[in-house]
């Protein structure tokens, strides 16, 4: 359940009234949820802007809509508007936004997938690349497939050895090695040509 303080509701109501648009609401959504880059986005929305599957919270004088694909990430979120020494700031505390780190009792596959999704994928995405987990075998060998700018990239071996393998072995001690199963010869838009 998402909560919005009365101070935050007053703040939103004031800025909505300044817009002078009837039925204007606020939409809240999660951006890059489940990753270290996770954040929240607040935006004005008119009824025509809505998809129809949003979760709606009736507030004092306006409606707050939560994007359907963001509800799990924003469960237990708290919105507040806090003033200190003449300055005020809107705060959003969303404990589930970055995802839950799998505990030590989680499977090796779940822990590897979490590190890939939360740490490695965002860095690769900055260069138009992506990576997917293909397999973790009984000996702890992780096999990956690259796509996007990493598919056919001339630096993928360095990225694999010095970045991905090093990170996975530090975070998941059961990982013994990391292999690449990608056919890089077929890459059509590498970040750095071979």
Residue 88's SS3 state is strand
pLDDT of residue 51: 92
pLDDT of residue 85: 63
How many other CB atoms are there within 10 angstroms of residue 5's CB atom? 14
Mean pLDDT, 10 residues at a time, over the chain (194 residues)? 93 94 95 85 95 94 95 94 80 89 89 89 87 96 94 90 95 96 86 77
pTM: 0.59
Q: Please give the CATH superfamily to which domain 3-93 belongs.
A: HesB-like domain (2.60.300.12)
Output phi, psi for 172, to 5 deg.
-130, 90
Residues carrying CATH 2.60.300.12, the chain: 3-93
Of 50, 85, 59, the C-alpha closest to 6 is 59
CATH number of 108-186: 3.30.300.130
Residues carrying CATH 3.30.300.130, the chain: 108-186
* Alpha helices by DSSP H, the chain: 6-19, 108-115, 121-125, 156-158, 166-171
pLDDT digits (tens, 9 = 90+) for 151-176: 988 889 999 999 999 999 999 999 99
Contact 94, 40 (CB under 8 A): yes
Q: How many residues does the structure list for the chain?
A: 194
């Amino acid at each position: 359940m998402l909560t919005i303080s009365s101070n935050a509701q007053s703040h939103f109501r004031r800025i909505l009234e300044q817009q002078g648009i009837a039925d204007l609401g606020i939409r809240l959504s999660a951006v890059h949820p489940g990753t270290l880059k996770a954040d929240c986005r607040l935006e004005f929305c008119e009824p025509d802007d809505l998809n129809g599957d949003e979760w709606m919270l009736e507030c004092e004088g306006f409606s707050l809509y939560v994007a359907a694909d963001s509800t799990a990430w924003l469960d237990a979120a708290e919105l507040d508007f806090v003033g200190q020494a003449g300055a005020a700031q809107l705060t959003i505390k969303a404990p589930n936004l970055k995802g839950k780190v799998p505990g030590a009792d989680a499977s090796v596959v779940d822990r590897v997938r979490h590190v890939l999704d939360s740490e490695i994928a965002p860095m690769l995405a900055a260069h138009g690349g992506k990576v997917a987990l293909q397999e973790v075998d009984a000996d702890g060998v992780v096999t990956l497939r690259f796509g996007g700018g990493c598919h056919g990239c001339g630096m993928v071996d360095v990225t694999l050895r010095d970045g991905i393998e090093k990170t996975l072995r530090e975070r998941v001690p059961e990982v013994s090695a990391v292999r690449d199963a990608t056919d890089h010869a077929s890459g059509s838009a590498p970040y750095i040509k071979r």
